[in-house]
Chains A and B, each alone.
Chain A
Amino acid sequence: MKNWFMLALVGQDRVGIVAQITDALYRGGCNLGEASMLRLGTSFTMMMMVNTQLDENTLISVIQPTAEKLGLHLHLDQIEGELHPHPEPDVKIVVHGADRAGIVAQVTGELANAGLNILDLETGVGGSDKKPFYFMQIEGNATQGMEALQLALEKLKETLQGNIDINLSPLETFDL
Chain B
Amino acid sequence: MMLEILTYPDPRLKEPSTTVETFDEELRNFLSNLEETMRAGPGGVGIAAPQVGRFQRIAIVDVSSHKKVTKHHGRLVLINPEITDWDGFEIAREGCMSVPDYTGNVIRATHIKLTAQNENAEIKYFEMEGYEARAVQHELDHLDGLLFLDRLVSRRHDLFQRKTHQKKK
Measured CB to CB, the residues of A under 8 A from B are: 38, 85-86, 88, 94, 96, 120, 122, 124, 126-127, 133, 135, 137, 170-176
Contacts and interface: CB of A to CB of B under 8 A. Distances in A.
Contact of B101 (A86, A133, A176): A86
Nearest to B99: A175
10 contacts: A122-B156, A135-B160, A172-B68, A174-B94, A175-B44, A175-B95, A175-B97, A176-B46, A176-B96, A176-B148
A174 B136 CA distance: 13
B66 A174 contact: yes
Contacts, number: 62
Nearest to A139: B155
Given A86-B101, A176-B94, 20 more contacts: A38-B156, A86-B103, A94-B160, A122-B156, A126-B164, A135-B160, A170-B68, A173-B94, A173-B95, A174-B44, A174-B66, A174-B94, A175-B44, A175-B45, A175-B46, A175-B95, A175-B96, A176-B96, A176-B138, A176-B139
Contacts of B169: none
Interface residues of B, number: 30
A135 B164 contact: yes
A63 to B, nearest CB: 26
Interface string B103-147: 100000000000000000000000000010001001100000000
A126 B161 CA distance: 9
A175 B41 contact: yes
Contacts of A135: 160-161, 164
A36 to B, nearest CB: 10
Contacts of B41: 175
Given A86-B101, A88-B103, A126-B168, A176 B158 contact: no
